[in-house]
Structure formats: structure tokens, C-alpha cells
Amino acid sequence: MTLFIQQVVDGIASGVIYAALALALVLIYRSMTLVNVAQGEMAMFSTYIAWQLTAWGLPIALAAPLVVGISLLGGMAVERVVIRPVQHRSVLDVLVVTLGLLLIFNSAAGAIWGTTAKRLPSLFPDDTVAIGGVTFGLETLGIVAVLLVVCGALAALFRFTSIGLAMRATTSNRESARLCGIPAHRMLMLGWGLAAALGGLAGVLIAPRVFLDPNMMLGVLVYAFAATALGGFDSPLGAVIGGVIVGVVENLAGVYVGFIGTDLKVLVPLILIVGVLLVRPRGLLGSPRVARV
């Protein structure tokens, strides 16, 4: 039982990281009906910047928030410079552009920092704490706490601030937003910034658990896709719940289903994706596709 609880909590810790990246995907999907396949690579690039800052002697506790800020600006820049000029084209065209971004970030990271894995220090002490007879890693608990706070802050931003309302309005109906005097382009840019910031945070949190190399986020992106497919591609809450479910299921399957082990773990999200798409294509909390004719 103790092992089970530990595995569940461990799964939740990976799950909230998948959730963060999934949330980043959902943010952009909702506002542009576009799946940003470069989201993971942008996050990886952010994580390298964090590593560079620590290599220059900055403590990770300072480098992490700094990188989140840099990612925010970087994401906005990507939208402004790369996406906006093509965004009136077809969804497929824009998708190809994001594929290009994926390759650019991936090779740029390799060119700048090399392809040998690096170690990013953890934000949290490598210590454990016992709660009710079950031992938890402080890192595990820290990750969950940080991302819960971030999700809460995001929810508050969207619900209670006028800029959040303007972003939701832009998502709901871009032309009407402009007719309301809302600078829709700036809102989309901010959406990309927030998504990149979330991704950067996810990268910084997960890097100490894996190793930092240019392909680090590819797997995480697959998990994030599974989370969004599970929760619904247009539902932020669904993305978070989906992320946690994927994390937990992945972890439990690795431990309890004999033949899966650690090598086949990556199959779990794929099976989840296929399963969900078969049974409930819009995901757990996604809105059904309706069109008024």
C-alpha cells in the first residue's frame, strides 16, 4: 500500500508537468485552433537557457523565474515574428511552420549547447519527508505545489482580470473582440508568451528528473498530447486532469504491469490517446463540435 501511494504521488508529480505543457498546447489551440508542435522544443530551449544561467553561477532558484520571464517574452516574439505573418493561411500551412520551429529549436540547441546530456540542478532539496508512514521526495511535493499555484494564478488571471477577459473574448470571437476595441493581435501574442512561459517552467521542473538534452521534451510532448486528447483539446481544466491521469497511469503501469517496465512506458500515453479517440473523441471535458448552419 505504501508503495502504491508513493507511486501515485510520483505519478502526480510527472502528471502536473505534462499538465503544464498540455495547458500550453490548449492555450494556443483555443485561441488559434492550432496545435503548436514546437511547444516542447521551445520548452527545451528555455530549459537550456536555465542551464546556461546556472553554468554562469546563478542559483537555480533565481534562474528558474528568470527563465520563465525570458520564455514569456520569447514566446511573444515567436508569435509576432514567425506566426503572425502566416496566421491568415490555412491551418495546415501554420502547422508546417510550427514543425519548422520544432526543427529550428532542436538543432539550435544542439548547435549551441551540444548533444551530450547535461544536468540541471533541481529547485528542491534532495530530501524526503514522511507523511503518515509514507515517504515522499521533497522534489515531488515541490513540483506539485509549484504547478498548483501556477494553475491557480492562471485561472485567476483569466477569471478576474480585464486582460484575462480580453484574452478569453479574443479566443471566443476574434473579430468581435476587435470591434470591442480589444487589440486581438496583442492578446494572441500574450497567449503565446504565457504558453511558452508554462512550457519553460515545465522544462525546468522536469529536467532534473530526466537529463537535459535537445530531445528531452519530445517524450514529454507525447504525454502532453495524450493529456489534451484525454481531457479535451479546448479545455484547460481537462488538460490538467488529463495530465495527472496520464502521469499516474504511466507510473503505475510501469510498476505493476510486468511486461511494460520502464522501457515500454512511453506506450501508455499512446494507448490512452487511441482509446480516448475511439470512445470519446472530444475528450473528457472537451466541448462537442457543433456548427450552426
The site for other proteins (CB under 8 A) is made up of: 162, 165-166, 168-169, 171-173, 175-184
CA atoms within 13 A on the CB side of 283: 26
Q: Which is nearer to other proteins, 123 or 239 (CB)?
A: 239
Tell the smallest beta-carbon distance from residue 161 to other proteins (Å).
11
Nearest-angstrom CA–CA distance, 224 and 242: 8
Contact in structure between 228 and 26 (CB atoms under 8 Å): yes
Q: Which is nearer to other proteins, 70 or 239 (CB)?
A: 239
Tell the smallest beta-carbon distance from residue 82 to other proteins (Å).
22
3-state secondary structure at position 119: coil
Q: Which is nearer to other proteins, 17 or 23 (CB)?
A: 23
* Residue partners of 229: CB distance under 8 A and separation at least 6: 242, 272, 273, 276, 277, 283
Q: Which is nearer to other proteins, 56 or 160 (CB)?
A: 160
Tell the smallest beta-carbon distance from residue 162 to other proteins (Å).
6
Q: Which is nearer to other proteins, 40 or 283 (CB)?
A: 283
* 44, amino acid identity: M
Nearest-angstrom CA–CA distance, 64 and 230: 29
Tell the smallest beta-carbon distance from residue 46 to other proteins (Å).
30
> What's the burial of 174, exposed, middle or buried (CB within 10 Å: 0-12/13-18/19+)?
middle
* No. of helices (H) and no. of strands (E), the chain: 11, 2
Tell the smallest beta-carbon distance from residue 225 to other proteins (Å).
23
* Residue partners of 140: CB distance under 8 A and separation at least 6: 9, 10, 12, 13
Q: Which is nearer to other proteins, 183 or 275 (CB)?
A: 183
Tell the smallest beta-carbon distance from residue 130 to other proteins (Å).
45
Q: Which is nearer to other proteins, 187 or 255 (CB)?
A: 187
Nearest-angstrom CA–CA distance, 21 and 225: 9
Tell the smallest beta-carbon distance from residue 184 to other proteins (Å).
8
